[in-house]
């Protein structure tokens, strides 16, 4: 299917308020890899209608969570930096807000520079311990 300019035509989703899109780091963020965020929290976000996925060591998650495919809508990054992956998600997935949950080593937790990746991609950042304490 092509648009009037000869390029591909994509369907757009129209809703009064699109969901938030949450991208979670895995290592030192989620409970399956020594982090404070319980897997149930991802399920709760999905039940609220949000888009939930992984931007980190997704292999640990899919090996540890038997029904992982019912929990997350995307996994990555593949051959991209975290910042580039987040940029791609924002480009192609419509959401009212883009939120990265992960590590911020200068604050003393985790090892990956997730705050920097989120800021580079224009995403809001929540430190894993703050998310586990209820920040959304």
- pLDDT tens digits for the chain (136 residues)? 455 555 544 445 555 678 999 999 999 999 999 999 999 999 999 999 999 999 999 999 999 999 999 999 999 999 999 999 999 999 999 999 999 999 999 987 788 999 999 999 999 999 999 999 999 9
3-state secondary structure of 83: helix
- The pTM of the full predicted model, rounded to 2 decimals, is 0.87
Sheet containing strand 20-24, strands side by side: 51-54, 20-24, 97-102, 124-127
Query: What b/e readout covers 21-41, taking b as 16+ CB neighbours within 10 angstroms?
Result: bbbbbbbbbbebbebbbebeb
Rounded-to-integer distance, Cα 77 and Cα 65, Å:
18
Topology (CATH) of 20-132: Rossmann fold (3.40.50)
* Domain boundaries defined on the chain: 20-132
């Amino acid at each position: 299917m092509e648009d009037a300019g000869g390029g591909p035509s994509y369907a757009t989703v129209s809703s009064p308020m699109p969901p938030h899109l949450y991208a979670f780091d895995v290592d030192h963020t989620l409970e399956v890899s020594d982090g404070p965020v319980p897997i149930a929290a991802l399920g709760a976000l999905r039940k609220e209608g949000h888009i939930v996925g992984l931007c980190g060591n997704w292999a640990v998650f899919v090996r540890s969570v038997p029904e992982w495919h019912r929990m997350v809508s995307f996994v990555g990054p593949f051959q991209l930096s975290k910042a580039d992956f987040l940029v791609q998600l924002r480009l192609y997935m419509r959401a009212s807000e883009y939120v990265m949950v992960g590590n911020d080593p200068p604050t003393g937790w985790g090892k990956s520079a997730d705050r920097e990746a989120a800021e580079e991609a224009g995403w809001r950042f929540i430190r894993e311990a703050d998310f586990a304490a209820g920040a959304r």
